[in-house]
Copies of this chain bind each other. A is one copy, B any other.
Amino acid sequence: MRVVQKYGGSSVATPEKIRVVAERVAKRAKDAQVVVVVSAMGDTTDDLIALAKEINPRPAAREMDKLMASGEQISSALLTMALQNLGCDAISFTGAQAGIITEKVATKARIKKVDTKRLKEELRAGKVVVVAGFQGITDNTIWADITTLGRGGSDTTAVALAAALNSEEEPCICEIFSDVEGVYTADPRIVPDAKKLETISYEEMLEMATEGANIMHNRAVELGWVYDVEILVAHSQKDVPGTIIKKEEKDMELKNPVKGIAHDSDVLKISVCGIPDQIGIAGKIFKALTDKKISVDIIVQNVSVNGKADISFTIAEADEDKALDIINPLAEEMGASSVIVNKDVAKVSIIGSGMETQPGYAANMFQALAEEGINILSITTSEIRITCLIEEGKIKDAVRVLHKTFELEK
């Protein structure tokens, strides 16, 4: 049995916390071959960025990667020392030593392949291998550049290593530890009787994550999906069961098709009003936004009687300035009458793989919200998700009523 465990920066922020993680790892190593992926200690990454900016306001991406990668190099060596101090045979690996070969793209490289030669050797020799997360190298020579994997990088390292180590003879699972206990049917702070899910499918997890369940990065979930790696998400300090992300099981459909309620208040709605109705207007706006890597959601286009169109869409609140820098000149150029920003909105979603084959969930959702006196501003759906945009002040009520409507507390 093989397992790849991942601990985030807050789990290894101090020598004391590193010792706690070492104890958990040493325990796991008693009945499995263990690879541990670590992030940099606590604020290390932010401190290094600040140092770089003090020296050069626009540091080259390649140099940033080398600078940042040192953070995980340090935490991996320290965790290894902590394991050795417990009498657990361990060895630390850089991204290079773990054989993680990436694209030649600094700060957000994608993994091309994993050469597990030495990783397997050390595991077979009975060692716990502690891998510096978030990093790789651009080819398999000593002259290769060090790259970092960008957002969700350490999660991605963990899932990629599990995928590379996974085989029929020696199955390998992945365990992602953070400060949450698992995936819940809804945010337990809003719905006190929300239940922790035992399992969830990759697809459902992706929908939960984009809707705000801040547990692990989508990119890593997608990688797990593609390579069929079972991923446990669990709490780094507490010894309680977490949630396993895995392939959808057929008999899931027989149970409740709605798996959970997700919500996201960190959204705002932008409306571009009174645009002369021409073909390609919407395309122009959304291409400009996605070119700047701004994710757009819940798009509604209305054509009014006099041949003028209104386009509305939601974006993350953090992207407001960036988006308006693009939208305002575009709106002027198009002859739009106004650009209206509404921050008083939030999204609530019901998620479940079973929904696609069983009708009626949308109707139930809309009716439940209506009975609670919650007005639906717009709607968007995917095969396994139905999302309503509502007034921000009503979001908690919405989550609670939907949780109850779909009997998720049972």
Chain A residues at the B interface, C-beta cutoff of 8 Å: 15, 18-19, 48, 51-52, 54-57, 59-60, 62-64, 66-67, 69-70, 73-74, 76-78, 80-82, 84-85, 91-92, 94, 96-97, 99, 115, 117-118, 137, 140-146
Contact = CB atoms under 8 A, between A and B. Distances in A.
Given A73-B70, A74-B70, A85-B56, A15 B51 contact: yes
A78 B54 CA distance: 10
18 contacts: A15-B51, A18-B55, A52-B78, A55-B78, A55-B85, A56-B84, A56-B85, A59-B81, A63-B77, A66-B77, A66-B92, A67-B73, A70-B70, A94-B146, A97-B142, A115-B142, A117-B143, A140-B141
A84 to B, nearest CB: 6
Stoichiometry (number of copies): 2
Given A55-B19, A56-B81, A74-B67, A142 B96 contact: yes
A18 B91 CA distance: 34
A55 to B, nearest CB: 5
B77 A56 contact: no
A127 to B, nearest CB: 12
Most chain B beta carbons < 10 A, residue from A70, A117, A145? A70
Given A56-B81, A96-B96, A140-B142, 5 more contacts: A62-B91, A63-B84, A63-B92, A96-B142, A142-B144
B74 A78 contact: no
A78 B85 contact: no
A85 B63 CA distance: 12
Given A55-B78, A81-B56, A97 B143 contact: yes
A-B pairs, 7 with minimum CB distance: A56-B81, A118-B143, A70-B70, A56-B85, A67-B77, A59-B81, A15-B54
A115 B15 CA distance: 38
Contact of A81 (B52, B91, B117, B140): B52
A76 B69 CA distance: 13
Contacts of A57: 85
